[in-house]
Structure 1
Amino acid sequence: MESNGNFTVKSAYKVANNMGLSESGDQPDQEEGGEANVTIWKFIWKLHLRRKIENFMWRAFHGALHLKVNLVCRGMDAQTHCSICLNDDETTQHLFFECE
């Protein structure tokens, strides 16, 4: 949750990153982080958010958002730079935390 008590997708993403999840939803250290993935999803589902927010979060963590980097990985012929700032590749991390 944010400091004002509101839950946002951004705050959930921060929680997941702090728990060691990558933006694709994989566990970085399979031996150590096996429970981290289960824990974050139990936490998210218990929040009783609107279904579209839960689905968006799931897609963000599993690399299923239609971001340019993900589209190129799926074989589309596209530039990967961010349409907003034109500086870095358009990834989940960049879009939510680094883009200016």
Structure 2
Amino acid sequence: MTYVVTENCIKCKYTDCVSVCPVDAFCEGPEMLVIDPEVCIDCDVCVAECPAGAIFDEHDVPEDQADFIELNSRLAEQWPTISEMKDPPADAEQWDGVPGKRSYLE
């Protein structure tokens, strides 16, 4: 089991979750974060820290977000690890809860 970052992280990219991860399982891309399933220890601590509510246990990922399980795994191999909290994008609050953001992934 692992945790998965889903669509609501796109364009929000809050990094509160990164600051509490004990094993540096997060990787940062241009528009969102992902969790490396090979590093995640399933501690659950990141879920409550995500202001956008974008992190789920892989067994609880909403059905319409199921492709993010594979996406996190694939992108974690490409994107660098992030281990320190950063300021969110200036317009993060405006993007929080906006549906249909997948097209913004590069």
Q: TM-score, normalised by structure 2?
A: 0.28
Structure showing the higher strand proportion among its residues: 2
> Highest CA radius of gyration, 1 or 2?
1
